Amino acid sequence: MGKPVLKREPQQVSDKETEALLDLLEKTLALEGDIVEFGCYRGDTSVIFERRLEKYRRENPEKPLKFLWIYDSFEGLPEKTAEDSSAAGDQFKAGELLVTKREVVEKFKKAGLKVPRIRKGFFENLEENDVPEKISFAFLDGDLYQSIKTSLKLVENCMTKDGIIVVHDYNNPELPGSSRAVDEWLKVHPEKSLEIKETLAIIR
Ligand SMILES: C[S@@+](CC[C@H](N)C(=O)[O-])C[C@H]1O[C@@H](n2cnc3c(N)ncnc32)[C@H](O)[C@@H]1O
């Protein structure tokens, strides 16, 4: 018998995108404010953010503490709206991408990292104090139009000067709602600039 084949879950964020995210996170570490990830799923990217954050804390003990806040329904995706309609993205159904909060907590513990501030619930039901007062870096990865729109709304007034918002799945034909939500938001925030790397919409 040959070696057992280890099945690996498909990555949600590509290696190139992870590299770009880390690069952008790095640029904001010295700014005041916390880091948020809306749509953490299994916590793969969250663990990478927390690892970098803990290194920053060790190297800069005199600086104010920065925290990671992560958000998910832990019930999978909500229903799509008309803006998400795409034959290419048929696999993204309500309830897909379901993990438990416990699995994510375990992932952090296994990695020897602090468990971040985890908020369970649909973004639409979050309350004001579920979001940090000041945010230096926001990664929005809720896949769908309404989820991206809501998370942009939740972070827009909390971003510190020079803070960066990154939205995943921009120009991803499987998830057209993400670009729609970003484009609409940019129309009412003409002072903001957009840069695109892979499927990351980088908003400054
Ligand atoms: C693509 S996954 C996130 C992947 C993760 N950011 C990563 O880097 O591995 C999208 C996640 O967003 C969550 N999500 C989408 N819309 C949401 C909403 N409106 N409220 C709460 N969670 C939502 C889903 O449950 C799912 O876990």
Domains of the chain: 20-203 (3.40.50.150)
Q: Please check whether residue 17 is in contact with residue 45, taking contact to mean a CB–CB distance below 8 angstroms.
A: no
Q: Please give the single-letter amino acid code of residue 124.
A: E
d(C-alpha 101, C-alpha 35), whole Å: 19
What is the pLDDT, as a whole number, of residue 6? 52
Query: Quick one: pLDDT at residue 4?
Result: 52
Pairing of strands 159-167, 200-203: antiparallel
Ligand 1: which residues within 6 Å by Cβ? 12-13, 37, 39-42, 44-45, 72-73, 76-78, 97, 122-124, 141-144, 147
Find the mean pLDDT for residues 41-60.
97
The length of the chain, given as a count of residues = 204
Give the residue carrying structure tokens 């793969």.
44
**Distance from Cα 29 to the centre of ligand 1, integer Å:** 24
The atom number, within ligand 1, closest to the CA of 37 reads 6
Run of H or E residues at 47:
helix 44-59
- pLDDT, position 16: 96
The predicted structure's pLDDT at residue 44: 97
Q: Are 141 and 177 in contact (CB under 8 A)?
A: no
pLDDT at 14: 95
Atom nearest to 146 CA in ligand 1: 19
- The β-bridge partners of 195 are 202
pLDDT grade for 5, boundaries at 50, 70 and 90: low
Side by side, the strands of the sheet bearing 194-197 are: 117-120, 68-72, 34-38, 135-140, 159-167, 200-203, 194-197
State the DSSP code for 118: E
**What is the spatial distance between Cα 87 and Cα 18, in angstroms, rounded to a whole number?**
27
- pLDDT at residue 9 greater than cutoff 70: no
- Mean pLDDT value across residues 38-67: 97
Query: How many angstroms separate the CA atoms of 202 and 171, rounded?
Result: 12
| Whole-number pLDDT of residue 90 | 86
| pLDDT tens, position by position, 137-170 | 999 999 999 999 999 999 999 999 999 999 999 9
Write the residue with the smallest CA distance to atom 27 of ligand 1: 41
In the chain the first and final C-alpha atoms are separated, in Å, by: 54
Structure tokens at 168: 């995943």
pLDDT tens, 74-115?
A: 999 999 999 999 989 888 999 999 999 999 999 999 999 999
Q: How many whole angstroms from 61 Cα to the centroid of ligand 1?
A: 32
pLDDT digits 0-9 by tens, 170-191: 999 999 999 999 999 999 999 9
pLDDT of 2 above 90:
no
Q: Name the percent of the chain lying above pLDDT 70.
A: 96
Q: Which residue has the tokens 């663990």?
A: 47
What's the token pair of residue 90? Answer: 């048929």
Q: For 7-11, 118-122, 137-141, 164-168, which range has the lowest pLDDT when averaged over its residues? A: 7-11
Rounded CA-CA distance 79/186 in Å is: 24
Kindly give the distance from the C-alpha atom of residue 78 to the centroid of ligand 1, in angstroms, as a whole number. 9
